[in-house]
Amino acid sequence: MWKGVWAALLLLATVCVQRGYAKEAKGTQSLGHVSVVIVGGTGDLAKKYLWQGFFQLYANQVSSGYSFSFYGGSLLPNDKATPILFEVLKGVVCPRELSVERCALVREQFLRLAEYRQLKTSEDYQALGKHLTEQLTQEGIVEAGRLFYLSVPAFAYADIAEKINNSCRPTDGAWLRVVLEKPFGHDFSSAQLLSTQLGTSLKDNEMYRIDHYLGKQVVSKILPFRRENSKHLDLIWNKHHIERVEIVLKETLDAKGRIPFYERYGVIRDVIQNHLTEVMTLLTMELPSNLSNTKEVLKNKLKIFSALQHLDRNCAAIGQYQAYNAEVQEELSKTKEHFSLTPTFAGIIVHIDLAQYEGMPVILTSGKMLDERVGYARILFKNDIFCIQSHSSVHCKPKQIVFYFGHGTLQYPAILVSKNLFKPDLMDTEWKEVTEHKDVSVLGLPISDYYVLTPTVEREAYAELISHIFQGRKDSFISAENLLASWSFWTPLLQSLDNTFPRLYPGGADNGNMLDFKLLGREVTFANEAVVMVTQDHMGGSGTESFQVMQGKYRSADMVSAWPEELIVRLAADLQAAAENAVREGGCFHLALSGGSSPLALFQRLARHHYSFPWRDTHVWMVDERCVPLTELDSNFRTLHDHLLQHVKMSYFNIHPMPVQMNQRLCVEEDSGALLYERDITQLVNASSFHFVLLGVGYDGHTASLFPGSKLDARGNSLVAFTESPAKPHQRMSLTLKAINQAQKVGVLVMGKSKHELVTQLSRVKDNPNNWPITGIRPTSGRLVWYIDYDALLG
């Protein structure tokens, strides 16, 4: 039967050639011919959105003076693909404003102007290029431009771009626009590589990187809405008034049928790195003075990217719907033992380091197989009114602005402003206020509590963007800089999540509250913890109390041992007790802290639970530092700052980072950084004896930055020294054994199964600081306590 269809299509194509492309433009001045080629023209996206979008473009432009021809291309041979294409083309629908007769005519013309071409080899592209040029000559028409839409996997981009460059460039004076669908890479370096590869064939102004969220009507009106309502928003668009920003895309669909793609990308790369991030920048960027100035918009977006605080795995809660793994096994032909760690759900908290937004959480969340399909960005404002009686009166209710992308309870795109905020102005005549509502609730408020703005005519995002490509409007597309800035923000989080187990969720309404997550400062955790089973047998069953925290001896010093959490609770309590004692006795507490990952949990515990810690009278010193600027992520001071110092109220004068950077260089002996630090210690710390020094111990037995083989005794009487680490960055500054051993109390924190062997080995070795620097820790008159968790102690 398709043979008949194909014959009909061929006939139509012939008619098209006979009748000529320029026919529609008759009577109007000819503006030239536009050839559109959809590479991947029979794929899903093309079927669902692209052909419809191009048809709409055609319908809108057919009388404008431009003439068109359309080509669907793919790797398939003509006889296979032509009937598929024909079926798709038959399905296009007219814009509502066209009359029935006009619609029939325009559709028929569109069908005549479209044809399939196999686009596989260089010869295929050469033939296409030749065909396009010959058609122009035959018709005697001027060329306006060529538009290639690459709706194919990203790995094919560079090759196709090269073929286009070699054989399909338009005639002189006409434009070339090549549209690229996401994903543009899967991390920073692959995006950079792709960008470089494409750059060898295409100029930047020829590339249109599409993010269809920028074509959604509500998203494209975020900046105009902010501008039009700036008299209200200028005062409240900041941390003092905004409680939090939520950007949400919930989907009910699963990833079935797309597993080869999804398994490689997961939810963060699929929709958060691009769609939700774009929305976040539009909401938080400084308003450009001219909204259509692409350069200014980009500059302001980039400012937001450079102010985003670094993300680590604690900033995200991830999940995977239960059936996903079986889908992966099936679609990727994996065995039953295979299990995937790809997240299909993520809740992420982002902070922006700008005075305007400091401390204001931005939550980005998305997932497959959730209870409903809805997308929105909600700005929730603080409500400073205390209601005594009528809690349902409007000024007691949440104050919020919701950019509602569509679906959900409302079912149409809208911008909603709660009535206790202000009455918004319309952005333009293409938007209207909705005054009659059906009885629905949107994010906790009945619709009647909002002013509601909506587009007069609903338009599909792809159709919008296709018309922007045609107009050469680059402001709705992703620039290379924007793209790389986004990947450089997301890549560290993605890497840190690489081996993290996502929480499994059943899917749909059954998820209940399993995926609810809570914010704790800069961190996110699921609100309801999964139950963890522990066995107590191997502890010898001595009552719950003693089971939780055990006292004992290790290397003939005191030892406290417990499960990790209890150990940290105990260490934090010991620290607070030492601090209170020191302040009571001498007015201040001198604490020296190490880097590394073990103390992070301690820092967090102190920041979140020890509100009565005498921080105002505490001096914080560093046990050691890497020779990198203090702002670098691997600086010990930076870690301490991010996890503790920035959360507690201390005097800046009492914070003592090590001076590793002096005279614009790092750790140079003649800059005397070590001496300077030593002098500060001598001047401020009574008898240079810290009240508490917290140490860790490395796999090679190093402590502070005192490494095996570094002749520790040769340091004489100095308190601070430059040292060398076998690991990068090699240069370090460190307290010496002398400085540490002068302390009143030294705690050594050892955590994690991976330290078990080390703990066993250390329990056997004699004191030999040159081989095992940690064994040189013998406080002269103070006390040494080992804090070892059960994982490290028992393996």
Give φ, ψ of 38 to 5 degrees: -100, 110
Neighbours of 15 (CB within 10 A): 11
- DSSP class of 452: E
* Closest distance of CB 271 from ligand BG6, Å: 5
* Closer Cβ to ligand BG6, 249 or 572, answer by number: 249
Name residues contacting ligand BG6, limited to 269-328 (CB under 6 A).
Answer: 270-271
Inter-helix orientation angle 564-586/600-609, to 10°: 60
Among 126, 121, 171, 164, CA closest to 145? 171
Give φ, ψ of 496 to 5 degrees: -70, -20
* Closer Cβ to ligand BG6, 462 or 554, answer by number: 462
Name residues contacting ligand BG6, limited to 171-190 (CB under 6 A).
Answer: none
* Closer Cβ to ligand BG6, 6 or 261, answer by number: 261
Neighbours of 429 (CB within 10 A): 7
Local structure of 693: helix, strand or coil: strand
Active-site residue 691, yes or no?
A: no
* Closest distance of CB 319 from ligand BG6, Å: 16
Sheet containing 731-735: which strands, arranged edge to edge?
Answer: 624-626, 731-735, 720-724
* Closer Cβ to ligand BG6, 217 or 300, answer by number: 217
Looking from the CA of 242 toward its CB, the CA atoms found within 13 Å total 25
End-to-end CA distance of the chain: 70
Q: How far apart are CA 564 and CA 586, in angstroms?
A: 32
* Closer Cβ to ligand BG6, 271 or 567, answer by number: 271
Q: Which amino acid is at 622?
A: M
Between the alpha carbon of residue 29 and those of residues 16, 428, 472, 724, the distances in Å are 21, 30, 20, 77
* Closest distance of CB 151 from ligand BG6, Å: 12
Q: How far apart are CA 23 and CA 106, in angstroms?
A: 12
- DSSP class of 578: H
| Contacting residue, 24, 206, 246, 251, with ligand BG6 by CB under 6 A | 251
Inter-helix orientation angle 480-496/277-284, to 10°: 120
Residues binding ligand BG6: what is the number (CB under 6 A)?
A: 5
* Closer Cβ to ligand BG6, 177 or 216, answer by number: 216
* Closest distance of CB 377 from ligand BG6, Å: 13
* Closest distance of CB 472 from ligand BG6, Å: 24
* Closest distance of CB 249 from ligand BG6, Å: 6
Please tell me the total number of residues recorded for the chain in this structure.
795
CA dihedral 598, 601, 602, 607 (to 10 degrees): 150
Q: Which of 33, 186, 212, 275 is catalytic?
A: 275
Neighbours of 524 (CB within 10 A): 23
DSSP lists the bridge partners of residue 692 as 591
* Closest distance of CB 562 from ligand BG6, Å: 44
DSSP string covering 403-455, please? EEEEETTT-S-EEEEETTT-PPPPSSTTEEEE----S-EETTEEGGGEEEEEE
* Closest distance of CB 280 from ligand BG6, Å: 16
* Closer Cβ to ligand BG6, 115 or 278, answer by number: 278
Q: Map residues 349-388 to x or -, x wherever contact with ligand BG6 holds by CB under 6 A.
A: --------------------------x-------------
Residue 347: burial class (beta carbons within 10 Å; 0-12, 13-18, 19+): buried
> Considering the rule CB under 6 A, would residue 254 count as an interface residue with ligand BG6?
no
* Closer Cβ to ligand BG6, 251 or 624, answer by number: 251
Q: How far apart are CA 449 and CA 446, in angstroms?
A: 6
Just list the catalytic residues. 275
Give me the residues that bind ligand BG6 (CB under 6 A), please. 249, 251, 270-271, 375
